[in-house]
Chains A and B, each alone.
Chain A
Amino acid sequence: MTLDIVQMVLVTVLTAATPLILAGIGELVTERAGVLNLGVEGMMVLGAAAGFAVAMQTGSTGLGALGGAGAGVLLAALFGVLTVGLAANQVASGLALTILGLGLSGLVGASYVGMKREPAPHLALPGLTDLPGIGHLFFGQDAFVYAALVLVVAVWWFLGRTRAGLTLRAVGDDHTATHALGVKVRKVRFLAVLFGGACAGLAGAYLSLAYTPFWAPAMTAGRGWIALALVVFASWRPFRVAAGALLFGGATVLQLHAQAAGLGLPGQLLSAMPYLATILALVLLSLGRRRGGSPGPAALGQVFTPSR
């Protein structure tokens, strides 16, 4: 019995963490290539709206997820053209992307407000899923959750174990030297930005197709910003992003359960918990950091214009 309750809590932690893992791992790749895209929230919210719209039109959750990721890629492409192509300011462009994404999502989603869908189907393996205590946690999740976990491993392997990953990290650490070696710095960065957009869009689609299967304006509620903080918190390492996301998922769940258990803490204050936890994590991280600068990519946020 208690085992089931523990499992239930862990399942909620995992589902609350999934959008953060997805968006965080995408932003991690973008930042490892040296591009700081603060527009995660915008790409995520557009992904949520577009994903829901596509799923309602086609009736397919899979196509909806693709639509969400595609919408994220489109916004990211705009960001890439501006910051990588035209060398515009990355921080400001990211903010602009957030505003644009919020606006576009409002338009895309306007006719879907108030509609509901069946949530994305959960895996059901006869025998395994019904295992007491662990079955649902490991064998009863939806495809997004597994995709997020696979993505973490894949990105870890790509960045650390492949030549292309090495090139990407080199671009993020020293674009001038990498350029001198003949690497197409801007192409690598543009692709990394697109990957980040796809992940953020997918994270948004998860929210509107699985987590809460409806569309509501600004439903991402700052998760894009938490994902950004998570990448810093994780020192730009994939597995730490996943671990951090689970921690923040935990903060969200704690809030839900504390409310249900009637701990006497008012709901409005509890709703601030994930944001508070994020800031505390950033502060704690700074306490533990040795002097000598951040462990982030050395060329993060710097524009590259090849000399002609």
Chain B
Amino acid sequence: MSTSADTTALPLAEPHASAGLQLRAWLARRAEVVAIPVGAVIVGFLLFSLFLLALGKSPLAFLDLVWRGGFGSPFALQNSLQRAAPLLFAALCVALPARLGLVVIGGEGAIVLGGLAAAAAAIPLQGAPPFLAVPLMALAAALAGAAWIGGVGALRAYRGVNETIASLLMSYIAIALANHMIEAVLRDPASLNKPSTPPIGEAFAVGPLPGLDVHWGLGIGVLACLLAYGLTERTTLGFAARIAGGNVRAAQIQGLPVGRLVVGFTALGGACAALAGFFEVTAVHGNANASLNAGFGYTGILVAFLARQNPLAILPVAFLLGGIEASSGLIQRRMQLPDATVLVLEGLLFLVVLTSETLYGRFKPFNPHLWAEKRETAA
């Protein structure tokens, strides 16, 4: 964070500091925010390369496969974007509550319930005009997710229950509940080998974005990230949430409704995650089945933390991780590595990025207030 406090301590405040130096200082401080995470990702890949070498596998072959499977061709790119779409929503489920200093990790539960709610809503809506029915299905999904994660927020706000543990335990409950509905209550008798709800039908299927082979979830996901950025950075509500996240007492003294903010932001996050489930059902699977529980919620946690909880930064990070996950099948087949390998890479990246966060303000080229020391020692 570059605040006005550090500007005053700079040599730039000196009257003789040239405009060029000021610009360089401004650029340097901005560059740090990009350079440290990018450097961390590179170090993470290097560590993972050592790990692959220890397993007797070639890191170059791995990178080549990630490139080919995730980014190297139009087909691979569309595949990566398709996987990035649910990650955008899942990451918002972490990043929005994070504004209040909460760590919510139960997005997976909201995704599964959102998908289930969308599929369940499709059953009574059969025959209704799609322009009415599809938004209603999305609403059903969003409400289910909002209630689920908002419930975690309420437990936190009014009962002091740790939201991290509660949200994760709740996602186990959500998955059990969804499995029960899919396998028993809402089961389509025609689904023999793979239990699923009745198909939502062609009419309600969400199609691809114009000119692309990627479904609308990507477009809405990008929009959701932009809106979330606007909400957290450009509205009084987002500002209030940041105050409450920074200092609860101060927020209460200011008369901010901390409890309602907590419930509101967690519910909003849950609604976002649930939309990921909605798109998985309406644009990918065509019904709700066990594939809803595909781990997008857990990867979303990683996306949000790598993006430092910034909704705009979620966009490139989700794309990067979507690409890595899209190439995991290819990596498994060509390199005979188990699918857990991608988890190892993700865990390493996560740890390296966390370590890198302790480095802010320590590198001279990025920190104009350290430039002065050089001048002083030179003089």
- Residues of A near any B CB (own CB < 8 A): 38, 42, 78, 82, 86-89, 91-93, 95-97, 99-107, 110, 217, 221-222, 225-226, 228-229, 232, 266, 268-269, 271-272, 275-276, 278-279, 282-283, 286-287, 289, 294
Contacts and interface: CB of A to CB of B under 8 A. Distances in A.
B169 interface: yes
Contact of A283 (B155, B301, B341, B348): B155
Nearest to A78: B351
A106 B339 contact: yes
Contacts of A268: 176-177, 179-180, 183-184
Given A78-B351, A87-B358, A92-B354, A222 B342 contact: no
Of A99, A100, A101, A217, chain B has the most CB atoms within 10 Å of the CB of A99
Given A88-B355, A103-B342, A287 B173 contact: no
Given A106-B344, A232-B162, 14 more contacts: A78-B351, A89-B354, A92-B350, A97-B347, A99-B298, A103-B344, A103-B345, A106-B340, A226-B169, A229-B169, A268-B177, A275-B169, A282-B162, A282-B166
A268 B176 CA distance: 5
Which secondary structure characterizes the binding site on chain A?
A: helix
B347 A278 contact: no
B26 interface: no
Nearest to B351: A96
Contact of A99 (B155, B164, B347): B347
B173 A91 contact: no
Given A91-B103, A268-B176, A86 B346 contact: no
A152 B105 CA distance: 30
Contacts of A272: 172-173, 176-177
A289 B173 contact: no
Contact of A103 (B160, B164, B173, B340): B340
A228 B105 CA distance: 14
14 contacts: A38-B164, A92-B350, A95-B103, A96-B351, A103-B340, A104-B347, A106-B343, A106-B344, A268-B177, A268-B184, A272-B173, A275-B169, A275-B176, A279-B169
A82 B354 contact: yes
B67 interface: no
A91 B347 contact: no
Contacts of B346: 99, 103
Contacts of A110: 338, 340
B169 A222 contact: yes
B85 interface: no
Of A89, A278, A282, chain B has the most CB atoms within 10 Å of the CB of A282
Nearest to B185: A266
Contacts of A287: 159
Q: Report the 5 A-B pairs with minimum CB-CB distance, sorted nearest first.
A: A106-B340, A100-B347, A103-B343, A103-B344, A96-B350
B17 interface: no
Nearest to A225: B168
Interface string B178-208: 0110011000000000000000000000000
A95 B105 contact: yes
Contacts of B343: 99-100, 102-103, 106
A276 B354 CA distance: 32
Interface in B141-188: 155, 159-162, 164-166, 168-170, 172-173, 176-177, 179-180, 183-184
B186 to A, nearest CB: 13
A99 B301 CA distance: 10
A86 B362 CA distance: 13
Of A78, A286, A294, chain B has the most CB atoms within 10 Å of the CB of A286
B218 interface: no
Given A93-B354, A226-B169, A229-B169, A289 B344 contact: no
A140 to B, nearest CB: 32
B64 interface: no
A276 B355 CA distance: 35
Contact of A225 (B165, B298, B338, B347): B165
Nearest to B337: A107
A92 B356 CA distance: 13
A229 B357 contact: no
Contacts of B354: 82, 88-89, 92-93, 96
B290 to A, nearest CB: 11
Contacts of A104: 340, 344, 347
Nearest to B343: A103
Given A103-B340, A105-B340, A279 B166 contact: yes
A266 B339 CA distance: 32
B305 interface: yes
B300 to A, nearest CB: 12
Contacts of B358: 86-88
A222 B347 CA distance: 18
Nearest to A41: B168
Nearest to B168: A225
B267 interface: no
Nearest to A267: B180
B184 A107 contact: no
Contacts of A232: 162, 165
B161 A283 contact: yes
B160 A294 contact: yes
Contacts of A88: 354-355, 357-358
A103 B177 contact: no
A151 to B, nearest CB: 22
A82 B347 CA distance: 13
Given A101-B347, A222-B168, A266-B184, A92 B342 contact: no
Given A88-B357, A268-B176, A289 B160 contact: yes
A82 B176 contact: no
